Amino acid sequence: MFPEVNPAHLSVYTRRVFASVGIKDASFHSLRHTAASWLVMEGVDLYAVGRILGHKTPRMTQRYAHLSPGFMAAAMNKLDGVFAIALPEPTFNP
């Protein structure tokens, strides 16, 4: 991806860039986690994400894909639609 950068120094260069713009506690590795999370939240399946990131096991990809609370809430809200169809609200007859 960065042919002019020595892979052994990529983390060092990334930390310097982050520090220069005021980002603390981040590294190139942080970008991998972010990329995995964004890909999954955009609907890319874990197998494809794992292949993109070069993971050897699906378990490693799962560790990388941190899903946002908003994404998880939206996923849970999808159940509302399913339950609304399967379990319609009872009508009240006094």
Which of these, 89, 49, 51, 85, lies nearest to 67 by C-alpha position? 49
Distances (CA, A) of 29 to 10, 23, 38, 57, 70: 10, 14, 14, 18, 23
pLDDT tens digits, 3-37: 787 877 888 888 888 899 998 888 888 888 889 99
Amino acid at site 38: W
- Written as six digits, the tokens of 57 are 């096991």
Give the Cα separation of 90 and 22 in Å (integer). Answer: 56
- Report how far residue 15's alpha carbon sits from residue 35's, in angstroms, rounded to the nearest whole number: 17
Give the global pTM.
Answer: 0.65
Task: Check residue 93 and give its pLDDT.
Answer: 67
pLDDT for 94: 66
User: Which of 9-13, 76-80, 85-89 has the lowest average pLDDT?
Assistant: 85-89
pLDDT tens digits for range 30-65: 888 889 999 998 989 999 999 999 999 999 998 888
Q: CB of 27 within 8 A of CB of 11?
A: yes
